[in-house]
Every structure is written in structure tokens, then in C-alpha cells.
Structure 1
Amino acid sequence: MVLGSFQRYFSMRHQNSKIQGLYDHCKNTFSPSGIPSPSSQPLHKLSLILDTIRPADVGLKKEAADDDRGLGFFGVNQQNRIARWAKPITYIDIHESDSFTMCIFCFPTSSVIPLHDHPGMTVFSKLLYGSLHVKAYDWVEPPCIVESKGPGHPQVRLAKLAVDKVLNAPCEPSVLYPKHGGNLHCFTAVRPCAMLDILAPPYKEYEGRKCTYYHDYPYSTFSAGNGPVCVGEEDEYAWLAETEPSDLYMNSGVYAGPPIKP
């Protein structure tokens, strides 16, 4: 009995040290006024700490079986997206302050977070389990914009593809920055998966950090006379238009990991 109690105590101490250590480092690194430069030692250390986090450290159990309500990643009718996303994504809030947000997104198979941005924000992500397809863009600078020509013709802005790949856990954390690394991205679950995110600073609309959703159009859709694109690289570019996410399904979950001491 004594040995069993000691083992449980040691296990909880170990779990606490991981998530508490991640929180403490974020608290010491980020402030409401900004974050260190991308090349700074604190951000490098944050990635190293994040890389050690496993599902059990945040109270999650790795999914053992696929979700039978998903219809798969590729063989689906794109016109029937709502039907295939019958089970919503679960959002779990771990911590939120003026400096940073720590949260988890749990995806059932085929669920999607549509293309969206993180204006003025740096985001660290760790895939805890499963497989996730990531497609991400960065804006082309200086801005290249095609103005609206009337109702039904949205204004579009040129972006360059930064990431288009499937992540399979375990894998290294990823980082996106305000102007590079794929600040505008879309997630699609290939298999049930969970992503731990750190957003610094957090979304705050009145400070200009509002989440905007986009639809991406092939470069050829608006390419006539527009865009500094070299011949043969058209697939690396797309035109993005603001849109409303009519097919985003998300509910709130409860954080079940070790408590964090502020």
C-alpha cells in the first residue's frame, strides 16, 4: 500500500512538473505588450518543453479506434461537408490571460477547422496523438489585392502556400509567426487527433486580433494581369477571400489534467 501510494504520488508530481513547467515558462516569456524575437532562447526552450508533453500530461487518453461517423479524409463528396462532420470538435481551455492562451482541440475523423488567421500572434502547436492535415499560407508582401467588381465578386488578396502536409504523432512542435510560418491555416483530421496550442498574445478583437475566416481560390481564378508569380509556380499561390464559417462545429470540454498553479 505504501509503495503504491508513493508511485501514484511520484507519477502525479511528474505530470504536474510537465504542464506546470510549460505554464511557468510561458508566463515568464510572454507579456501583453509582445513576445521575444523568433530566434530568442526562450522561444527555443518553449519548443523543447512543448515537445515533451504527451496526452496523459494534459489528462487525455489516446484514441484507440477511429470515429465511425467520419467518412474518411479523401473519399468524400465535398458538397456534403456538414453531413460528414456530424461529431463536433472539442475545445478545452487550460489557461487564458492577457499574455497567452493554452488550449487543446480534440478532432474526430474528418472534422475541419476552416482556413483562418492569427493576426499579430505567434502560435506554438503540439500534435498529441493521431493524424492531422495542415494547409497554411502567408500573405504576399507588399499586398496584392484584386478589388471587388460588385455583388458576388469578393475582394481577394494573394497568399503563398507555406505548409501542405499530414502530421502524424509523435512529431516535433510547429510554430507560426505573425508574418511567416503559415499564419493562415486550415486543419483537417485524417484520424482522431488532439492538438495542444499556445497562442501569444491571445485573440482580442478590440486590440486588432480578431479571427477571420477565408476561402482560398486557385491562382488562375483571378490571375489575369495580377500577381507577381513566376511561370511554373502557380500552384504555390492562392487568392484568399474573407468568408463566414458556416460549417464549423465545436463544443467545450473540461480540462482533466493536473491543476496549474498560477
Structure 2
Amino acid sequence: MGIETVAPNRKSSKEFLALAEETNSKSKTRKGRRRQRKMSPVQKLYETCKEVFSFCGAGVIPPAEDIQRLSSVLDAMEPADVGLTPDLPYFRMTVARRTPVITYLHLYECKKFSMGIFCLPPSGVLPLHNHPGMTVFSKLLFGTMHIKSYDWVVGAPEKTLASANPSLVAPPGVHLAKVKVDADFTAPCKTSILYPADGGNMHCFTAVTACAVLDVLGPPYSDPDGRHCQYYLDYPFSRFPDGGVSVPEDEKEGYAWLEDIEKPEDLAVDGAKYRGPEIQEN
């Protein structure tokens, strides 16, 4: 007759299973922590954008807490995080062209959002343009840039009043806008945010010095979806005094007339390969 011998520390199958699950969970947690520690700033930006814009679309603004979260990620970013230094060729003045060439570095784009960097040499200009249905985050990485932005004046008359002098009446395609921002910004500074109908949806960038701006658009431009980039020419409010709008004298500098125009012929934006830390799509 045999005698069954049981080791004092022998575990049952259930105990072994529980121990294995606990060990596996701890291992995953450690790997997750290591991954977070190793995640590059640009990868963190990508991951945050995926979450913030996951349920957004044209005209849909992310919740306030998500706006703040994405802004905080951008606020912390520096030129080295995307492989940029001010001595790169993109930021040098050239004598071959009267209008400086702007370089665009494409980081990522999907239906929900896009990420890219505009590199402007001194005096480089991104002319006045709009962002239809978009929420836009712009982070100045280095340099000094002048930003002028506008929002449409809601309720301004579509048709102007009759006038004895037609040249004083805003023609078709010219609409009233209110100045939102008109100032110089020098890095490091907070991320600027514009919304589909507020915050300066139409803006112009002028490089005071060589500078780089990281742009996040949600959603991105899309001609098939009606999100076309429209350019504008701005006139002072006094240009069309018979425009059917009454503005106090001391406030007139805060308004302008914007005219739809085709893409400026002298605007040159060249694409270049992004050479910063790789973005791992998932």
C-alpha cells in the first residue's frame, strides 16, 4: 500500500494560476511604466492627439479638459524634441527670391488630426488664411513671430447700403471681421489656440526672426469634405466707410474688411522630410 507524501510548501493548481496572473500583471505594469519613461515628447503628442480628437470632427471642439491636456503637452515641447536647431538651412535668408521660402515638415496626418511644423526664415510670411471647422493649436518652438488674427463679425450686413460713391462701399466677397490678436510672440510662450468660430480663426504669421511653429489641426484640411484653405486680403475699417456698419471712432482699429482671394502667387512652401524622433503609429 503506497503512502502519499505531500510537500509542506506545495501549491494547489488554483494557487499557481493566481500567482501566475499576479506576476504577469506586475510584468505588464513594469513594461507600461518603462514605455512611458521612454516615450519621446513627439510620441506623447501623437498619443494625446489620438485621444483628444477621437470623437471630434468638423466644427466639434474637444472638451475643455482635453484642450488643457493637449496644450500642456505642447507647452513643454522644445525644438530638440522634433529634431530642430536654428542653424538648419530652412531658417536662412536667401537672395534668390524676394519672398522667403517657407519649409513644411510633415509629422503625421489622419482623418481626425494632423501634425506639422512650419519653418520660417526672417521676414517669411504665412499669409492671412482660415481654418474651416477646425480647432488649431500652434506652438512657437523658437524665434519671434508676429501673429495677426481675426474672427468674423456675427450679424454684420451681407449687403452694404447704397452710396453716392461706390468706392466707399465694400464690394461682394468683402466681409467685416474683428481683430483678435495683433502682437509679437517670442519663444518660449504658451500655445495659442483657435476655434472654428472664435479665437482668431483667420490668422497671418510673419517671422520677425527665424522661427518654427508646430501646428496641430483637428480635423485637418480636406477639399473633398469642404475644408478648403481660403486666403484673404485685409483692409482697414476706414477703407469702406459706407459699409452699413457703425463702429465707435476709438474702436475702428479693432476691425477690418477681409476679401476672399486666390492663393498668393508669391507664396512658396516647400515640403521637407521630418528627421526628428520617429512616431510609432498604433
Give the TM-score band, short-chain normalised. 0.7 to 0.9
1:93-147 per-residue CA deviation (whole Å, 9 max, x = no partner) reads 0000000000000001101111000011010010001111101000000243346
Confirm or deny that 1:18 pairs with 2:41.
yes
Confirm or deny that 1:163 pairs with 2:181.
yes
Q: CA deviation at 1:67?
A: 3.7
- 2:197 maps to amino acid: K
Q: CA deviation at 1:62?
A: 2.7
Aligned match of 1:102 = 115
Percent identity of equivalent pairs: 47
2:65 to 22, 41, 48: 41
| Equivalent-residue separation in structure 2 for 1:205 and 1:38 (angstroms) | 22
**Retained in 2: the 8 A contact 1:146–1:157?**
no
Q: CA deviation at 1:222?
A: 1.3
Aligned match of 1:117 = 130
* Structure 1 pair 205–15 and aligned structure 2 pair: CA distance change class (3 A): farther
TM-score for both structures, normalised by structure 2: 0.77
Aligned match of 2:192 = 174
**Retained in 2: the 8 A contact 1:216–1:240?**
yes
* Structure 1 pair 27–142 and aligned structure 2 pair: CA distance change class (3 A): same
- 1:56 maps to amino acid: A
* Structure 1 pair 19–64 and aligned structure 2 pair: CA distance change class (3 A): closer
- 1:42 maps to amino acid: D
Q: CA deviation at 1:164?
A: 0.3
**Retained in 1: the 8 A contact 2:149–2:179?**
yes
| Equivalent-residue separation in structure 1 for 2:225 and 2:180 (angstroms) | 26
TM-score for both structures, normalised by structure 1: 0.82
Unpaired runs of 5+ in structure 1? 1-12, 71-81
**Retained in 2: the 8 A contact 1:31–1:98?**
no
| Equivalent-residue separation in structure 1 for 2:249 and 2:118 (angstroms) | 39
| Equivalent-residue separation in structure 2 for 1:182 and 1:63 (angstroms) | 31
Confirm or deny that 1:62 pairs with 2:80.
no
Q: CA deviation at 1:33?
A: 4.5
CA RMSD of aligned residues (A): 2.7
| Equivalent-residue separation in structure 1 for 2:40 and 2:49 (angstroms) | 14
Confirm or deny that 1:192 pairs with 2:242.
no
Q: Which structure: larger Rg?
A: 2
* Structure 1 pair 204–228 and aligned structure 2 pair: CA distance change class (3 A): farther
1:150-181 per-residue CA deviation (whole Å, 9 max, x = no partner) reads 9x955310000000001111111100001111
Name the count of aligned residue pairs: 237
* Structure 1 pair 64–130 and aligned structure 2 pair: CA distance change class (3 A): farther
1:67-95 per-residue CA deviation (whole Å, 9 max, x = no partner) reads 4448xxxxxxxxxxx9532x410001000
Unpaired runs of 5+ in structure 2? 1-35, 161-165
